[in-house]
């Protein structure tokens, strides 16, 4: 029997991303991912419900970070500034994984089912932000509009950040995108 190696989760994620990049998402099987990682399919399914989950496993943690950061922003902050603080926290977290984020997005962009799943994830993040704003006393439609605008800001910044020609950090790009949104609304945000 082989020697046990640590970090099964990380090995599965790296193996999946390598295979998705080399062969494509649809052509890659769970058995191939597990074999590349030196693990069994059973171990794969202990960590992930299916091969899509490799790409979306961090969604719950990202949502928790956004919500907890937003909830802890001082009550005196304007709704858009509170959301900006939450987005900046997400930018700080994701900013350490640019190469992975680029590879992940390239895989998602090539598959309609994964693009749909990404849109669902973003909609869920917006809904969670809107719910948290409501808990802070922000009424609708302001809570919903602010949350949706925040996710749009995040998406625009993220797309710029993963562009190979960009060298700026994600958090800075989030702030820049928010400033641009404020400029086109006449600073009324």
pLDDT per position as a tens digit, 78-121: 999 999 999 999 999 998 899 999 999 999 999 999 999 999 99
Q: Are 77 and 104 found together in one domain?
A: yes
In the block, residue with structure tokens 């641009």:
180
Q: Are 104 and 167 found together in one domain?
A: yes
Task: Give the integer Cα–Cα distance in Å for 155 and 158.
Answer: 5
Q: What pLDDT shows up at residue 5?
A: 67
Q: Are 45 and 91 found together in one domain?
A: no
Does residue 151 lie in a domain region? yes
Q: Where does the pLDDT of residue 166 fall: very low under 50, low under 70, confident under 90, or very high at 90 and above?
A: confident
Task: Give the integer Cα–Cα distance in Å for 160 and 150.
Answer: 15
Does residue 78 lie in a domain region? yes
pLDDT at residue 49 above 80? yes
Integer angstrom CA distances of residue 49 from 128, 132, 171? 23, 28, 31
Task: Give the integer Cα–Cα distance in Å for 101 and 135.
Answer: 31
Q: Are 97 and 19 found together in one domain?
A: no
Q: What pLDDT shows up at residue 1?
A: 35
Q: Are 43 and 115 found together in one domain?
A: no
- Our count of domains for the chain comes to 2
Integer angstrom CA distances of residue 147 from 122, 124, 130, 174? 11, 10, 5, 14
Does residue 46 lie in a domain region? yes
Q: Are 26 and 85 found together in one domain?
A: no
Percent residues over pLDDT 90 in the chain: 89
Does residue 189 lie in a domain region? no
* 74 class by beta-carbon count within 10 Å (0-12 exposed, 13-18 middle, 19+ buried): exposed
Q: Are 71 and 127 found together in one domain?
A: yes
Residues 6 or more apart whose CB falls under 8 angstroms from that of 41 comprise 30, 31, 34
pTM: 0.90
Contact predicate 34/8, CB 8 Å: no
Domain, as residue range, for 162: 58-184
**Interval 120-139 mean pLDDT:** 97
Residues 6 or more apart whose CB falls under 8 angstroms from that of 115 comprise 108, 109
Does residue 2 lie in a domain region? no
């Amino acid at each position: 029997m082989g020697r046990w190696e640590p970090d099964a989760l990380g090995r599965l994620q790296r193996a999946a991303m390598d295979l998705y990049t080399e062969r494509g998402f649809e052509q890659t099987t769970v058995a191939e991912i597990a074999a590349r990682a030196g693990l069994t399919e059973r171990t794969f399914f202990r960590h992930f419900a299916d091969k899509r989950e490799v790409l979306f496993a961090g969604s719950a943690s990202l949502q928790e970070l956004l919500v907890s950061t937003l909830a802890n922003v001082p009550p005196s902050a304007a709704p858009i500034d509170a959301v900006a603080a939450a987005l900046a926290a997400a930018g700080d977290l994701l900013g350490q994984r640019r190469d992975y984020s680029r590879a992940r997005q390239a895989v998602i962009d090539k598959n309609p089912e994964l693009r749909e799943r990404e849109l669902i994830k973003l909609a869920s993040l917006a809904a969670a932000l809107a719910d948290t704003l409501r808990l802070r006393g922000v009424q609708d439609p302001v809570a919903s509009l602010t949350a949706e605008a925040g996710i749009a800001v995040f998406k625009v910044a993220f797309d710029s950040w993963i562009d190979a020609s960009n060298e700026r950090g994600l958090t800075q790009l989030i702030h820049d995108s928010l400033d641009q949104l404020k400029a086109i609304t006449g600073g009324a945000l």
